[in-house]
């Protein structure tokens, strides 16, 4: 099972690329956002890989990060969502946008992806909402990302935003830290919805 590839970017197509690893060219299928973020052909690239094995074929799906790959796998746990639809969603929405859509149950945002109808979008936001903390990268004190803090940010909107994040399954310290950073960016007069959005982005980094 291939979990990661590092090699020279040999070729880029509309939906696939070829990575040359010690003379062996691996064809990898990627979302549009991943393809757009690639370095120039000839440079070194590293991709997180999800390997799909069937009786008659082996297909590699590549992602810019383990976090993006986790969303790809989670999306496919939803009925009616296969690899093609999952890639379409990831090609339209980044991890922060997906987290916002799950938290706010915004099926219209997910339905922006090609091939995703209203019913499938509704299932995605409903079924993945409870899985969001598992999809967020680990947050460690002093290890980058959000640093837990003991005190809640001031203001009713901030308290409501922290409550919303803890209801999603995040720890109280994580939620408070994320909202603290959100308040620093948006200001103390920011609405609860905006603080939730920014807080989720902090947790997704």
State the chain's mean pLDDT as an integer: 83
Greater model confidence, 100 or 42: 42
Which pLDDT tens digit goes with each residue over 73-99? Answer: 999 999 989 999 999 999 998 877 787
| Domains of the chain as residue ranges with CATH | 4-63 (2.40.50.140), 67-135 (1.10.150.20), 156-204 (1.10.8)
Q: Does 109 score more than 60 pLDDT?
A: yes
- Tracing tokens 């969001």 back to the chain, one arrives at 132
Which pLDDT tens digit goes with each residue over 26-66? Answer: 999 999 999 999 999 999 999 999 999 887 889 999 999 88
User: Which one of 21-30, 52-61, 98-107, 156-165 scores highest in mean pLDDT?
Assistant: 21-30
Q: How confident is the model at residue 166 (pLDDT cuts 50, 70, 90)?
A: confident
Q: How far apart are alpha carbons 73 and 66 in whole angstroms?
A: 11
φ/ψ (deg, to 5) at 116: -105, 110
* pLDDT in the model for residue 137: 54
Q: How confident is the model at residue 136 (pLDDT cuts 50, 70, 90)?
A: low
* pLDDT in the model for residue 135: 67
């Amino acid at each position: 099972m291939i979990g990661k590839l590092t090699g020279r970017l040999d070729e880029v197509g509309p939906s696939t690329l070829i990575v040359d690893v010690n003379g062996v060219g691996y064809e990898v299928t990627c979302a549009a956002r991943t393809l757009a973020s690639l370095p120039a052909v000839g440079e070194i690239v590293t991709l997180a890989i999800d390997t799909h094995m069937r009786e008659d074929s082996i297909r590699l799906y590549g992602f810019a990060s383990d976090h993006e790959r986790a969303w790809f796998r989670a999306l496919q746990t939803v009925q009616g969502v296969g690899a093609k639809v999952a890639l379409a969603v990831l090609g339209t929405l980044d991890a922060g946008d997906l987290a916002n859509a799950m938290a706010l149950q915004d099926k219209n945002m997910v339905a922006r992806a090609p091939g995703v109808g209203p019913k499938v979008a509704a299932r995605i936001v409903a079924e993945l909402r409870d899985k969001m903390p598992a999809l967020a990268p680990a947050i460690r004190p002093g290890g980058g990302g959000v640093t837990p803090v003991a005190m809640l940010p001031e203001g009713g909107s901030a308290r409501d935003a922290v409550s919303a994040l803890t209801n999603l399954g995040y720890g109280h310290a994580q939620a408070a830290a994320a909202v603290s950073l959100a308040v620093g960016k948006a200001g103390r007069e920011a609405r609860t919805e905006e603080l939730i959005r920014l807080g989720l982005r902090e947790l997704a980094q």
